Amino acid sequence: MKRSAFLYILTAFISLSFTSLPMENNPADAIVGTWLTAGDDNAKIEIYESNAKYYGKIVWLKNPLREGKKALDVNNPDKSKRTNPIIGLQIISGFEYNSEDKIWENGKIYDPQSGKTYSCHIKKEGNTLKVRGYIGISLLGRTEIWTKVA
């Protein structure tokens, strides 16, 4: 009886010890969180991981109304998606982390203002992301700076 009680206490102590150890940080997850876009019509983008790829959706808009109604994806080239709300819209998809170059690449970014989708790569620098969308090669593109908010 004493031996089983001792083993129970020892097992509980060991379990608690391991649960309090810090988890190994995955550098690829450094972009996970909420980011504020630049510009006059700011948005907050929530970036998350799914099956080792990274995605992002709009979770907040500075100006959530357009002509008195909630903002919709009216410029989407797929007419069936033009009634979808902008809040909740996935705009980042399929990014993979390149540990050698420390960038997220091979993904796409959708611009609901133009209705266009671009190739993209993302580089994290401190509390900012450099989000570079482009057509063809990276030299023919534009970089936006997003700031971490949560």
Question: How are beta strands 69-70 and 65-66 bridged, if at all?
Answer: antiparallel
pLDDT at position 140, please?
Answer: 87
Assess if residue 2 is contained within a domain. no
C-alpha 132/C-alpha 141 separation (Å) is: 7
Assess if residue 7 is contained within a domain. no
Between 43 and 4, the higher pLDDT residue: 43
Assess if residue 80 is contained within a domain. yes
Percent of the chain residues topping a pLDDT of 70: 83
| Number of domains forming the structure of the chain | 1
Percent of the chain residues topping a pLDDT of 90: 75
pLDDT at position 2, please?
Answer: 52
Task: Give this prediction's pTM.
Answer: 0.81
pLDDT at position 7, please?
Answer: 38
Instruction: State the CATH number of the domain containing residue 96.
Output: 2.40.128.520
Mean of all residue pLDDT scores within the chain = 87
C-alpha 104/C-alpha 115 separation (Å) is: 23
pLDDT at position 50, please?
Answer: 97
**Number of helices (H), then strands (E), in the chain:** 1, 10
107-123 residue pLDDT tens:
999 999 999 999 999 99
Assess if residue 11 is contained within a domain. no
Assess if residue 121 is contained within a domain. yes
Assess if residue 73 is contained within a domain. yes
> What phi and psi values does residue 12 have, to the nearest 5 degrees?
-65, -40
Domain span at residue 63? 28-148
C-alpha 87/C-alpha 111 separation (Å) is: 13
Assess if residue 37 is contained within a domain. yes
Assess if residue 48 is contained within a domain. yes
